Amino acid sequence: MYTEHGGEGPDLLLMLHGMGATGAVWSPLRDEAPARWRGRWLALDLPGHGQSARQASYAIGQHAASVARAVLPHLEAGGRFVVLGHSLGGVVGLALATGWFGVVPHRVFAAGIKIAWTDEELQRMETLAAQPARKFATPEEAWDRYVKVAGLAGIASAESGVVARGIAREDGDGDGDGGWRLAMDPRANAVGKPPLSELMALARCPVHLGRGRDDALVTMAQTRALDPDARELGPHGHNVMVEAPGQVWDWIAAFA
């Protein structure tokens, strides 16, 4: 699993990105880490995303098991283990909070989790998972598609570090002329509807939910149905950690 890390000290902040993105979306937040976090941080590409390996199943439990194996060597005795997840990464954080996967966080923060799913949305995800990766003739076309899929259109460009590892070169017939594609394995779309109420009830540590006020994927009413104390993270959209990393740091500082 591809990981990036920094900082020093016994405490560890694990950052988990959303579907279609990579760990690079945390770069604005990581830039502020020296002043905002007294410990180490670890950001990774989830399975089937960025430069992390693909796997046979992308169920939430499989995600959580893979993440737990990757993070375990980074934990230090006596240190706090805090998870910060966005969207899909937030759901993986909730799964880790159950303690079923060999690690138990001290606290989990999850922003922008999509809570309500229609049958049509779930069917569309299954359809995307069954299709081969779309190929693009130029990297510019691939980047344009990537920022849209990752929800970064209008807030990040192809030149931004936020989109790193989002596309990959196709080998074609081995001559390097196969074009470009998104780095994400299309099968990762088949994650299914997460059992959020059950995961919240099984959590063995405090869990805090939040969302940007303008997040079109989830309402505050839906979020507070799971966490009555859910935090509104300012007038921002789904990728609030890119738009306003300081808001996310303030949220963490209020508890951790």
CATH classification of the domain holding 220: 3.40.50.1820
pLDDT of res. 253: 96
User: DSSP state, 149?
Assistant: H
Q: How confident is the model at residue 176 (pLDDT cuts 50, 70, 90)?
A: low
Residue 4 has pLDDT above 90, yes or no: yes
With a cut of 90, say whether residue 103 has pLDDT above it: yes
pTM here is 0.95
Whether residue 174 is predicted with pLDDT greater than 60 in this model: the reply is no
pLDDT of residue 108: 98
Predicted confidence (pLDDT) at residue 122 exceeds the cutoff of 70: yes
Position 177 pLDDT exceeds 70: no
**Same domain, yes or no, for 196 and 100?**
yes
- Tally of domains in the chain: 2
240 touches 248 (CB < 8 A): yes
Is the model's pLDDT at 249 over the cut of 90? yes
pLDDT at 150: 92
Residue 122, SS3?
A: helix
Please give the pLDDT value at position 172.
56
Domain that holds residue 142: 120-187
Q: What is the mean pLDDT of residues 59-84?
A: 96
Mean pLDDT of the chain: 95
What stretch of H or E contains 91?
Answer: helix 88-97
The size of the chain, in residues, is: 256
Q: Computed from CA positions of residues 221, 207, 113, 115, in that sequence, does the dihedral angle turn out positive or negative?
A: negative
Same domain, 196 and 91: yes
For 246, the token pair is 């300081």
Mean pLDDT, rounded, for 39-45: 98
Is the domain of 40 the same as that of 102? yes
What value does the mean pLDDT take over residues 56-73? 96
Q: At what angle do helices 60-71 and 88-97 cross, to 10 degrees?
A: 70
Task: Please check whether residues 24 and 90 belong to one and the same domain.
Answer: yes
Is there a single domain that holds both residue 99 and residue 214? yes
Sign of CA dihedral 80, 206, 251, 245: positive
